[in-house]
Protein backbone atom coordinates (compact mmCIF):
# COMPACT_ATOMS: atom_id res chain seq x y z
CA UNK A 1 0.00 0.00 0.00
CA UNK A 2 2.94 2.34 -0.31
CA UNK A 3 1.57 3.74 -3.57
CA UNK A 4 -1.88 4.23 -2.07
CA UNK A 5 -0.38 6.02 0.92
CA UNK A 6 1.59 8.32 -1.37
CA UNK A 7 -1.42 9.24 -3.52
CA UNK A 8 -4.47 8.90 -1.30
CA UNK A 9 -5.28 9.88 2.27
CA UNK A 10 -6.58 6.42 3.19
CA UNK A 11 -7.08 2.89 1.90
CA UNK A 12 -10.80 3.62 1.58
CA UNK A 13 -10.01 6.60 -0.67
CA UNK A 14 -7.61 4.48 -2.74
CA UNK A 15 -10.17 1.73 -3.32
CA UNK A 16 -13.19 3.94 -3.96
CA UNK A 17 -14.14 4.09 -7.63
CA UNK A 18 -14.95 7.78 -7.37
CA UNK A 19 -11.45 8.84 -6.33
CA UNK A 20 -9.27 7.79 -9.26
CA UNK A 21 -6.16 9.94 -9.60
CA UNK A 22 -4.34 7.93 -12.25
CA UNK A 23 -5.17 4.69 -13.98
CA UNK A 24 -3.06 2.26 -15.95
CA UNK A 25 -3.75 -1.05 -17.58
CA UNK A 26 -0.72 -3.31 -17.82
CA UNK A 27 -0.05 -5.19 -21.02
CA UNK A 28 1.07 -8.77 -20.57
CA UNK A 29 3.49 -10.67 -22.79
CA UNK A 30 1.70 -13.00 -25.20
CA UNK A 31 3.81 -15.94 -24.00
CA UNK A 32 2.51 -15.41 -20.46
CA UNK A 33 -1.09 -15.29 -21.63
CA UNK A 34 -0.63 -18.46 -23.69
CA UNK A 35 0.88 -20.29 -20.69
CA UNK A 36 -1.97 -19.24 -18.38
CA UNK A 37 -4.68 -20.00 -20.92
CA UNK A 38 -3.21 -23.49 -21.39
CA UNK A 39 -4.15 -24.35 -17.79
CA UNK A 40 -7.48 -25.77 -16.63
CA UNK A 41 -10.30 -23.26 -16.52
CA UNK A 42 -9.12 -20.96 -19.29
CA UNK A 43 -9.78 -23.01 -22.41
CA UNK A 44 -12.50 -20.64 -23.62
CA UNK A 45 -9.99 -17.76 -23.59
CA UNK A 46 -7.58 -19.44 -26.03
CA UNK A 47 -9.75 -18.52 -29.02
CA UNK A 48 -10.06 -14.90 -27.89
CA UNK A 49 -6.30 -14.60 -27.44
CA UNK A 50 -5.74 -15.93 -30.94
CA UNK A 51 -7.92 -13.13 -32.32
CA UNK A 52 -6.25 -10.18 -30.58
CA UNK A 53 -2.76 -8.77 -30.25
CA UNK A 54 -1.30 -5.71 -28.60
CA UNK A 55 -1.18 -4.14 -32.06
CA UNK A 56 -4.91 -4.66 -32.62
CA UNK A 57 -6.14 -4.14 -29.04
CA UNK A 58 -8.19 -0.95 -28.59
CA UNK A 59 -6.24 0.01 -25.45
CA UNK A 60 -2.69 -0.79 -26.61
CA UNK A 61 -2.69 -0.34 -30.37
CA UNK A 62 -1.26 3.18 -30.02
CA UNK A 63 1.77 1.83 -28.16
CA UNK A 64 2.38 -0.43 -25.21
CA UNK A 65 6.10 -0.03 -24.56
CA UNK A 66 5.49 1.78 -21.24
CA UNK A 67 2.67 -0.56 -20.22
CA UNK A 68 4.29 -3.96 -20.87
CA UNK A 69 4.72 -5.69 -17.53
CA UNK A 70 7.62 -7.96 -16.70
CA UNK A 71 6.26 -11.32 -15.60
CA UNK A 72 8.06 -13.83 -13.40
CA UNK A 73 6.92 -17.22 -12.18
CA UNK A 74 4.78 -19.68 -14.04
CA UNK A 75 1.15 -20.57 -14.57
CA UNK A 76 1.37 -23.62 -12.32
CA UNK A 77 2.69 -21.94 -9.18
CA UNK A 78 1.69 -18.34 -9.84
CA UNK A 79 2.90 -15.32 -11.74
CA UNK A 80 3.94 -11.88 -10.59
CA UNK A 81 3.64 -8.95 -12.97
CA UNK A 82 5.80 -5.89 -12.35
CA UNK A 83 5.29 -2.53 -13.96
CA UNK A 84 7.08 0.60 -12.79
CA UNK A 85 4.67 3.54 -12.73
CA UNK A 86 5.94 7.08 -12.42
CA UNK A 87 3.73 9.27 -10.25
The pLDDT value recorded for residue 70 is: 94
Q: What is the pTM for the complete model shown? A: 0.66
Q: Which helix (H) or strand (E) holds 62?
A: none
Answer whether 21's CB lies under 8 Å from 15's CB: no
Is the distance from CB of 35 to CB of 75 less than 8 angstroms? yes
Burial 5-19 (b: 16+ CB within 10 A, else e): eeebeeeeebeeeee
What mean pLDDT, rounded, does the chain reach? 82
* Residue 7 φ/ψ, nearest 5 degrees: -110, -30
Q: Specify the DSSP element, H or E, that contains 50.
A: helix 43-50
Residue 19 pLDDT: 66
* Residues 32-63 pLDDT 10s: 999 999 999 888 888 888 998 999 988 888 88
pLDDT at 20: 67
Amino acid sequence: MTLAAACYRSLADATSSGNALRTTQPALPKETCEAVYATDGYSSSVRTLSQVSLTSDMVFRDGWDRQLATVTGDAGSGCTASLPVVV
